[in-house]
Amino acid sequence: MGILSILLLTPLVGIVFLALTPSNKSTQIRFLANFFAAVAFLLSCYLVAIYNIGDGGLQFEEQYLLNPKLGTAFALGVDGLSLPMVVLATLLTSIALLASFNISNSVKGYHISILLLQFGMLGVFLSQDWALFYIFWELTLAPLFLLIGRWGGVKRHAASLNFVLYTMGGSIFMLISLFAISQYMPPHSGTLMSAMSEAAQLMPREEQVWVLLGFLIGFGVKMPIFPLHGWLPLAHVEAPSPVSILLSGILLKMGAYGMLRAVVMLPEATLMLQTLLVSLALIGIIYGGVLAWRQTDLKAMVAYSSVSHMGVIMLGIATLNQTGIFAAVLQMTAHGLVAGAMFLLVGLLYERTHTRNILDYSSLVKVMPRFALFMTVTLFAAMGLPGTIGFVAELHAFIGGYQQWGNLMMLMGVGVLIGAAYAMRTIGMLFTGPVKPQMREIEDLRVYELIAATVLVGAIMLFGLWPAPLIELSAETVTQMSNIISQRIQ
């Protein structure tokens, strides 16, 4: 058994241990869940340590034939695109579990659902077979439906149902596109991503466009991009804060990851739809920023800001040049860290005050100085301030977009200014003014909360000031993807 199989099976082993643990042993359940999440994170870090950054192809490949007639295989592998997402998934799962100590009802079911969700997320990023990818993609729906519907807010049932219907509806279009490509595969040749990428080139150009549109809807719902984002605000507001960390920090990246794979598979169709893609990206950047600026609910603000930041990823993908694709990969990591930190801090604040209305706060810097420091740095990263990872990603997106469209990138600049406006507004309303009477006795961050916040904010600052390790991790894979696109659209 290879290291990727061990990593993938780690949360499943944790689920078995949790299932055998009595439901009334809450402390033991929390320890086991955190232990197996930590083991998965350490394994992903080990993968980074032994990963050959000079090789942009798949590494640590494992392949076991599942169905000889259909040609489906249990095929795993990582490259410079998937490895950062694997590390991010394991890191944010550990952070989410650290932030889950306030969950007091059905503790066992909650932690089993979190580990099952981690299993599905890892499967998506490790799969090198489209059939296996689709199975893991759908597998993430069940635990998320339970986590939102069972432990969410007042409108949790509507939010969980809304999320599942949107995502399943999008998945149908993705499945149709995969079936369409499979018609050009030799008999019993399987559904490996590499083989289907070659088969896609045999399709007529018009069919490629329709297939890419199917992928755009399927992956666009999950990202989400404008106008397929309708499920996102309600799901984020109603989901428990630890679940929001995973939802925004990593589950949205599953859509971006799939879209990148689809674009490399169908570059000619992407070129034909390039105007549509950049239009959706720029509209999403500005529209998400404006809606975030108008919110008084802190979680709704972060949710709409995600629409804006995912627009930056779509913009990078639409450029079809190396700098733009690099921007998309960097923004996936940047937004995962920034959104994860914001939902962590907003959730911790809500636990203490039981309100998310920004108008209820003022001068928290006097009461919660540690919280104020971490929240301010995170908001600076969200607006793309130099010295944070958000700046590195957005700068690459702007350069890649300017190379392709020139002065059209002024619209992205408008979106960045709007992002700065709502970030500064939030900082001003949270941390300035007189201390309100009901906010005088709020407890600052506890030790385990401080650890979780330090890890995320530390990564935001570290990769902002020293982005070389993150860039080098993906450089060869992005170069390889860019060369494939360039060769096929010439």
CA 278, distance to chain mean position in Å, is 20
Between CA 264 and CA 449 the distance in angstroms is 40
pLDDT of residue 49: 93
pLDDT of residue 70: 65
pLDDT in tens, 380-400: 998 888 989 989 999 999 999
pLDDT of residue 449: 86
Between CA 488 and CA 490 the distance in angstroms is 6
Distances (CA, A) of 153 to 82, 150, 485: 33, 9, 45
Walk along the chain (490 residues) in steps of 10 and give the mean pLDDT of each run: 91 94 89 94 94 88 76 84 94 92 86 94 92 91 90 84 86 89 74 78 87 92 84 84 89 91 90 92 92 88 89 92 91 92 90 85 86 92 89 91 89 90 89 79 85 92 92 91 84
Instruction: Please state the φ and ψ torsions of residue 190, each to the nearest 5 degrees.
Output: 90, -175
Encoding tokens for residue 274?
Answer: 């390039």
Encoding tokens for residue 213?
Answer: 């549109």
Residues with Cβ < 8 Å from 276, sequence gap 6 or more? none
Between CA 69 and CA 424 the distance in angstroms is 59
Residue 357 bridge partners (DSSP): 297
Residues with Cβ < 8 Å from 97, sequence gap 6 or more? 30, 33, 34, 37, 111, 114, 242
pLDDT of residue 69: 67
Virtual CA dihedral for 115, 120, 126, 128, nearest 10 degrees?
Answer: 160
Which among 253, 299, 242, 254 has a CA at the least distance from the CA of 113? Answer: 242
For the whole model, what pTM was predicted?
A: 0.92
Which among 3, 11, 229 has a CA at the least distance from the CA of 114? Answer: 11
> At 201, is the secondary structure helix, strand, or coil?
coil
Between CA 258 and CA 361 the distance in angstroms is 40
